[in-house]
């Protein structure tokens, strides 16, 4: 479905749920430490307007048509299945992925899909990555940052990362409330205003500085919100990493890395515009990583799609930059090809 100005538009951080998922998930116990976040998310998911926007995909398509948006890469509303005990989370992830794959099969030209997995059980998560990228025909996976305060650089998650690399599954590393919640509890800080980007940026930096990307050099990690602040800091990160390794590395248990931090960021990471319709920040990101590492995203249903589409169309860009951001990078990263509707 060509966009009305001739440029295909794919948005890649577009959240949904199903009534079946919400009915089951809202009846589950939450693991200790995740109660604050899940209290908010269940309130959001029970809000009539937001619930409708999450589950009504016919309305989503009508909105996309009105905007001139050709495709949405769908993902489960965060934080997915990660706040639940593994015994509940593993089958719930499978059931949602089956439903998501059916949605994508019905409208392959309009919807792609990112599978959800349960890192609580890394072996089961690895099997689900293989199933998602194989029989289900999905386009990657979404992991909502930490799982029970644990991060993907930790050894227990090796099966999950190995499966993602072997199956060429991009990992969209989506924010959630910080694992170290105490300092964020007040003033509305745990969530999207501040805590989300701090948490996702922390997770990305752990993957870089731990040597994880030396062990899994073929991983592709996607960060929303124009890189969760990291592009702004790349020069200082390199400078201070070199200084710290030289002067205090032995005392701080710093792994020896094959590349500089910024080289990993440019090699292994792709960023999206979700939630940051700011031409100045996009200009910085273009200088830091280039248009071929940037994808358009709206962050539906939480951001204004009209504003996001206006930002994509009106921000001063070359034709090549706009094509890369609007569709070409997503086509490459998520292996979504144009299809007849």
**Residues labelled as active-site residues:** 299
C-alpha span between 332 and 336 (Å, rounded): 7
Task: Could you list the beta-strand ranges (E) of the chain.
Answer: 10-16, 71-76, 111-113, 115-116, 141-143, 171-173, 221-223, 269-272, 294-295
C-alpha span between 199 and 145 (Å, rounded): 7
Q: Do you know the residue count of the chain?
A: 341
Bridge partners, residue 223, by sequence: 271
Alpha carbon 62 to its chain's center: 24
C-alpha span between 152 and 129 (Å, rounded): 15
> Which tokens belong to 68?
């001139």
Query: At residue 39, what are phi and psi to the nearest 5 degrees?
Result: -60, -45
C-alpha span between 85 and 6 (Å, rounded): 47
C-alpha span between 156 and 44 (Å, rounded): 32
C-alpha span between 338 and 34 (Å, rounded): 39
Of 175, 156, 172, 155, whose CA–CA distance to 164 is shortest?
Answer: 172
């Amino acid at each position: 479905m060509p966009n009305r100005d001739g440029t295909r538009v794919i948005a890649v951080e577009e959240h949904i749920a199903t009534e079946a998922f919400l009915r089951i998930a809202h009846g589950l116990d939450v693991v200790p430490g995740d109660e604050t976040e899940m209290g908010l998310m269940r309130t959001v998911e029970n809000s009539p307007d937001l619930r409708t926007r999450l589950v009504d995909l016919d309305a989503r398509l009508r909105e996309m048509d009105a905007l001139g948006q050709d495709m949405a890469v769908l993902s489960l509303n965060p934080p997915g299945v990660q706040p639940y005990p593994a015994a509940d989370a593993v089958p719930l992830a499978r059931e949602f992925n089956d439903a998501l794959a059916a949605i994508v099969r019905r409208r392959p030209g309009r919807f792609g899909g990112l599978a959800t997995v349960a890192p609580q059980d890394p072996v089961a998560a690895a099997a689900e990555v293989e199933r998602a990228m194989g029989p289900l025909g999905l386009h990657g996976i979404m992991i909502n940052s930490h799982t029970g305060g644990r991060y993907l650089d930790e050894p227990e998650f090796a099966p999950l990362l190995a499966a993602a690399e072997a199956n060429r599954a991009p990992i969209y590393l989506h924010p959630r409330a910080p694992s170290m919640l105490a300092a964020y509890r007040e003033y509305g800080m745990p969530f999207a205003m501040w805590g989300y980007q701090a948490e996702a940026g922390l997770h990305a930096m752990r993957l870089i500085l731990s040597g994880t990307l030396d062990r899994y050099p073929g991983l592709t990690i996607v960060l929303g919100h124009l890189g969760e602040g990291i592009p702004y800091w790349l020069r200082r990160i390199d400078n201070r990493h070199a200084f710290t390794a030289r002067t205090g590395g032995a005392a701080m248990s710093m792994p020896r890395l094959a590349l500089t931090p910024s080289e990993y960021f440019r090699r292994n990471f792709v960023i999206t515009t979700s939630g940051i319709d700011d031409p100045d920040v996009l200009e910085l990101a273009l200088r830091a990583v280039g248009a071929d590492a940037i994808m358009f995203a709206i962050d539906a249903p939480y951001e204004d799609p009209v504003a996001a589409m206006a930002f994509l169309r009106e921000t001063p860009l070359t034709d090549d930059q706009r094509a890369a951001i609007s569709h070409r990078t997503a086509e490459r990263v998520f292996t979504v090809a144009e299809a007849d509707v």
